[in-house]
Chain A
Amino acid sequence: MSSQLNRTALPLRLTLWFFGLLTIFPFSLLLLTSVKSQPDLMRGAFVLPDYPHFENYLHAWIDGHFGVYFWNSIFVVVPVVVFSIVLGVLLAFGFAFLSFPGRKALFVVLTIGMMVPAEAFIIPLYYEMRYLGLTNTYAAVILPQIAQSMPFATIFLASAMQQLPDEILEAAILDGASRRHILWHVILPLMVPAMSTLALFLFIWTWNEFLIPLILVNDDAYRTLPLGMLFFQGRYTVNTPVLTAGAVIVIAPLVLAYLIFQRKFIAGLTAGAGK
């Protein structure tokens, strides 16, 4: 194997770099445009500005309400991630170790929710929220997303719990630890890697969610970033520099998280692929 390393023919390497540049080209252009002025832009999409117009970001943040959208995204993502993990841990513990009636059936019901896309039940969900008086609140965006992450969180954490070495749990049982003690002081510390991977996934999914806030919120004060971007585009069709600055605000946290946790993210993503 080692002798094949470094032996990749140049045309093949160039092909790969071509695709690599193709992927990041739109993002580079986005960054470039976000620091141009309107007149700069008129001179051509690939022309560099005389000096960077960082005020575009200020415009996006304040006039474009991206500041509001950003904080809304935070207010939504944090509780979704936290509660999904807490409830997910409890559910996973239940499915991994406890008995209760209808265990198998309930598991099937959970997996159904993993396959059915939100588009399929958004109509009743919308009316349910209206009935509960929750439309145009953070709860309207938070609650369904916690509920939606239950299947994945449960399956992901339950399989991690089942992979814990039996000896550790047996030792704790022999020591006479109570069940709650075992969950909090034995299992949970060992679950930190799995939970942090899950948190990363949930953060990205929730940050990116579009349909639920699109349907369940129509007050600008509660819109999250992707939605805000859509409505900003509707309001100021041609202010491209500010629009691209907004886009950078939306994706920057994602890119940051990705670059920091890339290994974890890809490992988590590919873990189940070989089975």
Chain B
Amino acid sequence: MKLRSKLDAPVHKNLIYILPGLILYAAFVFGPIVSAVGISLTDWNGLGLPTWVGLQNYAGLFSDERFYLSLKNNAELMVFYCVLPLGLGIGLAAILWNMKPREQLMLRTMLFLPYIMPTAVLGIIWAWLYNPAFGPINQGLRLLGLGSLALPWLGDFTFVLPAVGLVATWYFFGFCMVIFMSGMQRLDPNLFDAARVDGATGLQTFRTVTLPLLLPEIRVVLLLTVIASIKSFDLIFTMTRGGPANATLVPNIYMYQLGFQLNRFGYAAAVAIIGAILIFTVNYAIHRLVRPADEGAN
């Protein structure tokens, strides 16, 4: 590009622009990432010198039942982090889209609110809401005469995972809806007129026109929520710390326990690296599998 060459200068003059940011980035992000890979190849208690163990930590993970459990929990959480918010978001967006602008704005403002909040604080708030004895949820259930449903949500092996998961759903679905709304605004409104003239019902239009054309937004939402679920730490840390009895243990909580409680830093780093690899894999897979539907055939 001509323009670029006009603004360009010899390398040593260009470096002034990029070095400050890059040095900071290298020192506090990229360096630590590389070191994390290094540490994951060692056995280290955080005090003495790390001892090189090669891939032994990773091999250990293969036969670590707690690690498998954390992955299984994470997979189950994805239903709440990704599937439910996506489904709810797209459905609600389709409804909201046809509403009056004022009502639309009010609802959008409300539904989006959780997404700007710190998940750690939301975790604490929801832990209070879920409190078995004095939590508002159980109080409400008792008021409605559903006292038998007033379970110790976060202390129950069966219900703790959905209970935590639903907070994530609550956190994400409004965000998903807003993304889908903006996707619908991107589409030519005449498409929906055309579908009406063509005799498609509302539901048929949604299935055959709206949904396929929202694939780019579906991809973005999937990417963000799947990655968020793999990264999940704050919410679970503040609500259950992975308990009870590891019922909500996820890789990042496991990493925290291994590292900062058991001082098994090498092994903890291996867990963290696996998490990062998972994120890259998922990212790649979603980019490959979910493609915009209007790409020209032929």
Contacts and interface: CB of A to CB of B under 8 A. Distances in A.
Interface in A172-221: 173, 179, 182, 204, 207-211, 214-215
B231 A117 contact: yes
A90 B129 contact: no
Is chain A's interface secondary structure helix, strand, loop, or mixed overall? helix
Contacts of B114: 23
Interface string B84-123: 0000100010011011100100111111111011111100
A147 interface: yes
Interface string A78-108: 0000000001101101110111110000100
Given A20-B111, A226-B121, A148 B3 contact: no
Contacts of B290: none
Interface string A235-275: 00000100110010011001101110010011001101111
Contacts of B96: 16
A5 B99 contact: yes
Contacts of B280: 115
A45 B139 contact: yes
A221 B280 CA distance: 37
Contacts of A45: 134-136, 139-140
**Closest 8 pairs (CB-CB, A-B):** A208-B118, A147-B28, A270-B182, A124-B35, A121-B32, A45-B136, A94-B18, A87-B21
Interface of B: 3-4, 6-9, 11, 14-18, 20-22, 24-25, 27-33, 35-36, 39, 46, 88, 92, 95-96, 98-100, 103, 106-114, 116-121, 124-126, 128-129, 134-136, 139-140, 143, 170, 173-174, 178-179, 182-183, 186, 189, 192-193, 216-217, 220, 227, 230-231, 233-234, 237-238, 252, 255-256, 259-260, 265, 268-269, 272-273, 275-276, 279-280, 283
Interface of A: 1, 4-8, 12-13, 15-17, 19-24, 26-27, 29-30, 41, 44-46, 87-88, 90-91, 93-95, 97-101, 106, 109-110, 112-113, 115-117, 119-125, 127-128, 143-144, 146-148, 150-151, 154, 166, 169-170, 173, 179, 182, 204, 207-211, 214-215, 225-227, 229-230, 233, 240, 243-244, 247, 250-251, 254-255, 257-259, 262, 265-266, 269-270, 272-275
